[in-house]
Structure 1
Amino acid sequence: MASPRPLALPPGVTESVFQKFIDRIADTLGSNNVIVVESVHDLPDGSYLEQPYSHDAFHIVDKDAFIASAVANPRHVDDVQHVVRAANEFGVPLWPTSLGRNMGYGGAAPRLRGSVVLNLGKHMNRILEVNVEGAYALVEPGVTFEQLHKHLVDNGLRTESDDPEEKKKDKLWMDLPDLGGGSVMGNTLDRGVGYTIYGDHWMCHSGLEVVLPNGEIMRTGMGAMPSPKATSRFWHGKPHEQPGNECWQLFPYGFGPYNDGLFSQSNLGIVTKMGMTLMPAPGGYQSYLITIPRGEDLAQAVEIIRPLRLQMIIQNVPTLRHVLMDAGILGKRSDYTLDDGPIDDAGLEAIAKKLNLGIWNFYGALYGPEFVRDAHWTAIKTAFSAIPGAKFFFPSDLPADQPHVLHNRHRVLQGLPSFEELKWIDWRPNGAHIGFSPVSRLNGDDALRQYELARTRAKEAGFDYMGTFTVGMREMHHIVEIVFDRRSAATRQKAHALMRSLIDECAANGWGEYRTHLAFMDQIAGTYNFNGGIQTRFNEVLKDALDPNGVLAPGKSGVWPKRYRELGLRGKL
């Protein structure tokens, strides 16, 4: 029987060499855990929970531009090591992914066409520990936010009830992004954010276990110091099976250079275990919405937010959401207008009035005992009352039987998984989206200039502006969602061109993206060009030293190993 032939081979890898690699890893992983992508019929776009591993489901370039040659599903760390060593022997590039559900950034697809996708999430999905005293979890790549939440509920550590008496029984909460189906590890390594007090996920991790490009295992931080149990004469296990140091998930730094950052948005190793801080139950909770009536009020709102956030009166990671983001959750575009052109100011005002929202809508939460929440709310409400026409809502102020985004944010802001944010992707027929996410100062003028720039360019390209300002401590992530018809080649091309222009214009203003889709990694890395691009050159030195064969995720975050730089692949799809 003939061996399956891949639709795409990695550059410089012959079919016979590729087949030897596939045979080698199939012997260890099992043939059912190694799938060769043979034809365009193997490229179904699937869905958020049934995402493809062969390609980018929300492609804005040709569907086979970011395509895998095969997908391998390791069952445990030994398998990962075996695949990495085989990749070095045969020169086959790998693209590790936890779950690949961040569809707006390319999903599970590889940056380098023909790479073998290493799907860590299919089998490696254990919650290895939840420690109540230390308030942390130790997880594998495939653990989802929903799964971790369920573990807390099943073990009596968390309730989903809004009954204050039931909430008193809570011991641990978790933070999560808008959608609960993503990987805890994957989101954290890509420096994603959530919305509680613990919303900076990378800040809240502690300790990694990493398979290095040569197949060796390293533990970072306090994990570099073995546990006394692991060094006893009774221990005969493998390194990745050894118990971790008791402070591994408690103190992230250990001794010497802090290595963890090398494995965030990088291609220097494959993370197989990660510690994640959990949130002790705060003793009280109240979500809220402040509607801000006019688009130009954005600058004043941000100026109000900054001191409140810096002083931790606003405790959590709040969001300023444009009305069309909320409208997309509550309906499709055709529910609001039959005009195919971008919605104008009058149209936005009509939608806001229909939905009892502002042009901007500020979602936040109060945590702690009632007297603490009351004091914070008084300060927040007083400050926002300076905006003429601002309105204030708790969930109890809205009909429980009528859909409203505040009901969903009420869940998310207390770490309860939700899938409501999937709805705005259907704003247009055959909906797909690309995320554009520049970072700026927490400054009203910057916010308004970014909004006007993004909205103007979107309008020129024929798209509605849909965006959110996610507020950190001293900066903002401006998440602009370009929603397009994935079945329209013309629309995909316009979305692609829009992204290219936004990247360049924002870079000219000093606004750089904090993560991006596969198609734009090289362009964005090129905007971080202080001193002749020293950061890229530094990353290349590290890459070539740690991964001389260039097998781990070539092109990830614009970092290319020497063998592919010499082929001139940077900047090419």
Structure 2
Amino acid sequence: MKEPQSFVPETTTGGPTAPSAYRKPNGEKPSVAGDPIILPPGIDSPTFKKFTQQLADIVGRDNVTVISKDEELYQESYLDPSKAHDMFHILEKQYFVSSAVVAPRDVPDVQAIMRLCNEFEVPVWPFSIGRNVGYGGAGPRVPGSLGMDMGRNMNKILNVDVEGAYALVEPGVTFFDLHDYLVKNNLRDRLWIDVPDLGGGSVLGNTCERGVGYTPYGDHWMMHCGMEVVLPDGSLIRTGMGALPDPNADPNLPPHEQTANSCWQLFNYGFGPYNDGIFTQSSLGVITKMGIWLMTNPGGYQSYLITIPSDKELHQAIEIIRPLRVGMVLQNVPTLRHVLMDAAVMGDKTTYSDSKKPLTDSEIDAIAKKLNLGRWNFYGALYGPEPIREVMWQVVKASFGNIPGAKFYFPEEMPDNKVLQIRNNTLQGIPSVDELKWVDWLPNGGHLFFSPIAKVTGDDALAQYELTRRRSEEFGFDFIGTFVVGMREMHHIVCIVYDRKDADSRRRAHKLISTLVDDAAKLGWGEYRTHLALMDQIAETYNFNDNAQMKLNEKIKNALDPKGILAPGKNGIWPSTYDKKAWRVPI
């Protein structure tokens, strides 16, 4: 059983036999020149060198990088993401770090890498781009894992079907890439993509982490259709209609190059059990291709801003939003943002205050007045021909008009409001990276996302806001957050901004989010996605009927990945070859 510490031989308890080699404690510097910062668990230096040489034989030496010195962990920018560690680290920079990074060139490379990792029993952590900032970036859950950079070489848009309104993409295709493809091929007047706040991430990666955007196609997983997946043993499958061969496919081509059934990106389910879901937020397969539905141009568009003057109207605003959203009057995924989120996009904390402490209500009100914003700010959009938009707008305006002091704006009425101009693009599927500016609220800004799910009710919104703001200020941080409203639930995204070069700031941020996880669970709120350091803690809160869901996940994991090679520990699911208690992250 793989353990993170102590020089003791491997043992197992009912699982497959693990390597018999001795392992280095996590964080100990290898003494052999050329060794990585941390070796994979159970792997000694000579074995590691043999392993990486065979990796280079598969993909070419230019596609293998051993992470052998701290200088290789220099990347701290979203635009230049690290491929080896968590750029926005809350533990030491060297903790969630890969031993080496490999960049497969094609599907056969991925299959060969998985088979090699099984042979050497080296854990492998796939990622698409490495921009999953706030949740761990490219860092592996198990230090010393082999990072597998799926996006460096596998970055093609394989197909855009205009009539079917879908695209087929590889892991390295970003939202910018897909949008630019539509523009360059004169398809933007017919097809739109949905984008999250930042456009540099992988379409495939964001979708399979169940990320969201803000057009009517904002639930990205709902809009995926058909995947190609390499399983932990190196075998290749296509899901849904992709499992039915194309009668015109060339049988002489390797499977990954064969044309697919014409309905692969049109009907998700195929026949029999629906497998796609087990490959989201999971450690059961490496996704090499994915279909994504595109939105047809709605024939008209208008974004808007509604400012809500104070905290006391938050309850009323959410109660207004719920029936409009369920009834599809609010057509897109709207957001209700705290003023400090918008303020942080327009300037750092020193722009507004000299205080080192969390801002007071009077200081926050002064910021809102200065920026001509409310304490809460609702961003939405109208889609369709002008008569439809006009009717929808009258309903929206009349409903929110019941809030005392609410004000209504279109982007052309506030040309200097940077956030409204950004949202005007985002809500019509035009990607940017401008909103990452809020990370600079503090010097050397890093961030964690705390993201509980709740009902769309005023009571829940007030309770979550009161709890998260009180806890944030208790640990010395300003509350920066937004309610993202789905069809029948809210993602409450709390942005914990800290100084990543200050150990105390990192420690307080880690303690804050850990405390919030426990607080939320006691009130029935669970997180939908999290940072590497919190995966075990959150997984343990989903414990109905003596952890029945986790037991099922572990059974599937051990059946498909008996050696525990692929992303061990991801989202709290540990193979039988690991002692999950020993790998718990210290707080």
Partner of 2:199: 180
Give the Cα separation in 1 of the matches to 2:107 and 2:53.
19
Matched, 1:547 2:561: yes
Q: 1:512 aligns with which of 520, 526, 536?
A: 526
> Residues 145-544 of structure 1: matches in 2 within 5 Å?
145-158=175-188, 170-230=189-249, 234-398=250-414, 400=415, 402-544=416-558
C-alpha distance in 2 between matches for 1:38 and 1:396: 52
Alignment correspondent of 1:49:
79
Among 93, 112, 117, the residue aligned to 2:142: 112
May I ask how many residue pairs the two structures share in their alignment? 556
How far off is 1:144 after superposition?
0.2
1:550 corresponds to which letter in structure 2? G
Work out the CA distance in 2 between the residues paired with 1:499 and 1:222.
41
CA distance in 1, matches of 2:207, 2:220: 5
Show the counterpart of 1:562: 576
Q: Work out whether residues 574 and 580 of structure 2, in 8 Å CA contact, stay in contact via their aligned partners in 1.
A: no
SS at match of 2:57: helix
Task: State the Cα distance separating 1:321 from its structure 2 match.
Answer: 0.5
Aligned match of 1:123:
153
- 1:263-298 superposed Cα distances (whole Å, 9 cap, x missing partner): 000000000000000000000000000000001211
What is the distance in 2 between the residues matched to 1:339 and 1:397? 33
1:433–1:567 distance in 2 versus 1, CA, 3 Å: closer
- TM-aligned CA deviation for residue 385 of structure 1: 0.6
Q: Which ranges of structure 2 fall in alignment gaps of 5 or more residues?
A: 1-31
Matches of 2:471 and 2:439, distance apart in 1: 20
Question: Match of 1:28, SS?
Answer: helix
Task: Provide the aligned C-alpha RMSD in A.
Answer: 1.1
Q: Could you list the runs of 4 or more consecutive aligned residues of structure 1 that deviate by over 4 angstroms after TM superposition?
A: 570-573
The aligned amino acid for 1:36 is V
Identity of aligned residues (%): 59
Establish whether residue 72 from structure 1 lines up as the match of residue 91 from structure 2. no
Q: 1:404 Cα deviation (Å)? A: 2.5
Quick check: 1:93 aligned with 2:123? Answer: yes
Say if 2:93 is the partner of 1:63.
yes
Shift of 1:567: 7.8
- How big is the shift at 1:45? 3.0
Residues 10-34 of structure 1: CA deviation (Å, up to 9, x unaligned): 2112222222211111011111110
Shift of 1:173: 0.5
Aligned match of 2:50: 20
Maintained 8 Å contact 2:76/2:88 = no
The 3 A distance-change label for structure 1 pair 121 and 558 is same
CA distance in 2, matches of 1:296, 1:186: 38
After superposition, the C-alpha distances for 1:479-512 in whole angstroms (9 at most, x for unaligned) are 0000011111011100010011000000000000
Distance 1:298 1:6, change over 3 A: same
Distance 1:572 1:487 in 2: 19
CA distance in 1, matches of 2:491, 2:210: 12
CA distance in structure 1 between the partners assigned to 2:581 and 2:456 by the alignment: 41
Tell me the residue number matched to 1:164: none
Give the letter aligned to residue 556 of structure 1.
K
Contact preservation (8 Å) 1:555, 1:570: no
Task: Tell me how far 1:9 sits from its aligned partner.
Answer: 1.0
CA–CA distance in 1 between the matches of 2:141 and 2:94?
11
Partner secondary structure for residue 273 of structure 1: strand
- What is the CA–CA distance in structure 2 between the aligned matches of 1:571 and 1:336, rounded to whole Å? 36
Give the drift of 1:571: 5.0
Q: Which runs of 5+ in 1 are unaligned?
A: 159-169
CA contact (8 A) 1:437 1:516 kept: yes
Give the structure-1-normalised TM-score. Answer: 0.96
Structure 1 residue 3: deviation in Å? 7.4
**Distance in 2 between residues matched to 1:295 and 1:223, nearest whole Å:** 50
Change (3 A) 1:566 1:181: closer
For the residue of structure 2 that corresponds to 1:564, the secondary structure is: coil
Q: Please give the alpha-carbon distance, in whole angstroms, between the structure 1 residues aligned to 2:45 and 2:238.
A: 36
| Letter matched to residue 52 of structure 1 | S
Look up the SS of the partner of 2:134 in the other structure: helix
Distance 1:123 1:46 in 2: 22
Stretch moving more, 197-206 or 532-541:
532-541
Corresponding residue SS for 1:104:
coil
Instruction: Tell me how far apart the structure 1 counterparts of residues 108 and 329 of structure 2 sit (CA, whole Å).
Output: 47
Counterpart contact for 1:523–1:571, Cα < 8 Å: no
Secondary structure of the structure 2 residue equivalent to 1:290: strand
Letter in 1 for 2:500: R
Instruction: Give the letter for the 1:552 counterpart.
Output: L
C-alpha deviation, 1:135, in angstroms: 0.1
Distance 2:548 2:51 in 1: 36
TM-score, normalised relative to structure 2: 0.93
> d(CA) in 1 for partners of 2:335 and 2:445?
23
Per the TM alignment, residue 253 of structure 1 is displaced from its structure 2 partner at its CA by 0.3
Q: Deviations over 1:143-171 (max 9, x none)?
A: 0000000000011011xxxxxxxxxxx10
Equivalent AA in structure 1 for residue 289 of structure 2 = K
Deviations 1:380-422 (A, max 9, x none): 1000011100000001211x3x243111100000000111111
Cα displacement (A) at 1:566:
7.0
Is the 1:558–1:570 Cα contact (8 Å) retained in structure 2?
no
Q: Which amino acid aligns with 1:249?
A: Q
Aligned partner of 1:287: which letter? S
